[in-house]
Copies of this chain bind each other. A is one copy, B any other.
């Protein structure tokens, strides 16, 4: 955990340095908050958490910083169609999809080779080479076997 976060910090530091950007208090706080959330977070959630440390930070800075994170390759955007964009820590060379509990909203990540392979077959049937995909499942807890 520790070292994976350290790796993320290092990637960002390197990106900032080599692009002539600057380290700032705000970016530090937002990064730590983002890492602490360690899952799927929205701008709003991040902003509120960040404001507990630094009251003056506004939406614009969080938006701009998250965009920076995406550019630096440490975050990726997800749009589940519920309005707000979700951000998660980008793990290089790891792809996963999502399963969302409709009751508690919890988001699970998974990866499935059978599906991935099947997707390539489907794309090929239409004469296309699969570049990427997005798959989201929604489910409800079966009684007595709840996730929440």
Interface residues of A (CB under 8 A from B): 79, 81, 99, 101-102, 108, 110, 112, 114-115, 118-119, 122-123, 125-142, 145-147
Contact = CB atoms under 8 A, between A and B. Distances in A.
6 contacts: A81-B134, A112-B122, A119-B135, A129-B139, A133-B137, A135-B136
Given A114-B114, A123-B137, A132-B138, 16 more contacts: A79-B81, A81-B81, A99-B122, A112-B122, A115-B115, A115-B119, A122-B137, A123-B139, A126-B147, A127-B142, A127-B145, A127-B147, A128-B147, A130-B139, A131-B138, A134-B135
B128 A140 contact: yes
A102 to B, nearest CB: 6
A132 B136 CA distance: 9
Contacts of A114: 114, 118
B137 A119 contact: yes
A130 to B, nearest CB: 5
A128 B115 contact: no
A40 to B, nearest CB: 15
A140 B131 contact: yes
B127 A118 contact: no
A130 B136 CA distance: 11
A131 B127 contact: no
